[in-house]
Amino acid sequence: MTLPLTGIRVLDITNVLAGPFCSYQLALLGAEVIKIEQPGRGDLARMLGADPAAAARLMGASFVAVNAGKQSVTLNLKAPEGKEIFKKFVLISHVVLENFRPKVMKRLQLDYDVVSKINPSIVYCAVSGFGQDGPLAMRPAYDQVIQGISGVMSVTGDAQSAPLRVGYPVCDTLGGITAALAVCAALVDSRVSGRGRMIDVSMLEATLASMGWVVSNYLNAGVVPIPMGNENFTAAPSGTFRTADGLLNIAANETYQFEKLCDLIGRPELKTDPRFSDREIRKRNRASINKEVEQALSARSAAEWESLLTEAGVPVGRVLSVPEILSHSHLAERNFVTTFDSPQGSQRVTRGGFVLSVDDAVPASPAPVLSEHTELWLAKLGYDATKILKLRNAGVI
């Protein structure tokens, strides 16, 4: 068996994270992703990341994170010859993915109206901060900005620290996942009907859509969400607790879980305490129940409590650092990290959040060197060595 998107060719003109994260998911599912990059410079993410030497080689850690399994072709889309080459790619592709600001592709005369005439079955996906229209459409799209405007920061942190940024580019990531889902759905229809379509992905709206419970509590119950730190607004005791050694997340969201927790920490009387005898009452007395639980947890370490509570069926987990979870035997057993040894240095990349039953959805190759596949593809498109050299000297590729 082959991966689900085997045979699908994606023309990827995206930069940095939201768009590249989308095409990375498609590559993991088997699509052939041709990454169109600016000659000489490439994706900005090539210059980003915690390893300055790698960034200087245009293979920054930020780029490596979401570009394994892709091919790199450099193309100046402002040049007439570059537009011509791009259109030839469109003719043999199934998806065009871009994350320019709205109207950029129209100015380049390569927008959906143009490419759909070349290839009527093309699925064209535009990822932007705010969507292709509306009062905010033309604003620059940066994750930090979207986090603030979307309300994410307003509910992150606690009463003292909020508004607080989520510790990774969550809005870029959600935009990319949303785009990948929409592209896959549109491909199903395109393969059946022969009809392509335009997909308009808004990072703002993708983020708000992911905040379903918080948004619904306001829309349908009139409850304005507030920052609650590590507390769970749906239940108590449900949050982060100090132990004799380390932090522990406990999610005793259901009554039977709360009762088991009380027994295991040696405080069975809490089950019948009038302050805690009902789910809604516990939420109103959150501070009191948390104090009682945390006091009892001081008798053991987080690792010991994790083992005891898990065995009893109480949802629990230690609070780990990124290095701690990446070195965990669970991820090793599930082959979450793939290592590539290449002339450009070792690359360690993660797969998506899924495993397929037959073929493992892991990247097939390391992140490409800038322009690594340009000449290969131009030859496939009918350009001979002389013409390729002329295009290179003219700065088209």
Domain boundary among the residues 279, 294, 319 is at: 319
- Closest-CA residue to 364 (of 351, 380, 379, 354): 351
- Of 290, 319, 348, the position where a domain reaches its end is 319
Which DSSP category does 269 fall into? G
Same domain, 246 and 389: no
Q: Which of 319, 351, 380 is the last residue of a domain?
A: 319
Is 233 inside any structural domain? no
Calculate helix-pair angle for 203-210, 212-221, nearest 10 degrees.
80
One domain for residues 242 and 310: yes
Q: Indicate if 291 and 148 belong to the same structural domain.
A: no
Give the single-character DSSP code of 153: G
Instruction: Provide φ and ψ at 125, rounded to 5°.
Output: -120, 120
CATH number for the domain that contains residue 303: 3.30.1540.10
Q: How far apart are CA 261 and CA 245, in angstroms?
A: 19
- What is d(CA 213, CA 250) in angstroms, rounded to the nearest whole number? 20
Helix pair angle (203-210, 143-150), 10° resolution = 50
Same domain, 179 and 56: yes
Residue 64 shares a structural domain with residue 200: yes
Query: What pLDDT is attached to residue 386?
Result: 95
The pLDDT of residue 56 is: 94
Q: Is there a contact between 61 and 50 (Cβ–Cβ < 8 Å)? A: yes
Do 25 and 98 lie in one domain? The reply is yes
**148 with 82, same domain?**
yes
Same domain? 204 vs 182 = yes
| Count of domains for the chain | 2
| pLDDT of 1 | 65
324 domain residue, yes or no: no
Q: Is residue 369 part of a domain?
A: yes
Q: Are 225 and 154 in contact (CB under 8 A)?
A: yes
Rounded to whole angstroms, the Cα distance separating 379 from 129 reads 36
Question: What is the CATH number for 352?
Answer: 3.40.50.10540
Angle between helices 203-210 and 170-193 (to 10 degrees): 100
For 298, the domain range is 238-319
Q: For residues 107 and 198, state if they share a domain.
A: yes
Residue 56 lies in a domain: yes
User: Domain for residue 350, yes or no?
Assistant: yes
Residue range 344-354, pLDDT digits in tens: 778 999 999 98
What CA–CA distance (Å, rounded) separates 349 from 338?
5
Same domain, 356 and 312: no
Q: Is residue 228 part of a domain?
A: no
Same domain, 198 and 243: no
Looking at the domain assignment, is residue 326 inside a domain?
A: no
Catalytic residue among 43, 111, 143, 172: 172
Active site residue 113: no
Inside any domain, residue 165: yes
- Contact 315/237 with Cβ under 8 angstroms? no
Residues 355 and 305 in one domain: no
For residue 349, the SS3 value is strand
CA dihedral 135, 138, 140, 144 (to 10 degrees): 20
Write out residues in the chain with pLDDT < 50, as ranges: none
* Res 170: pLDDT: 97
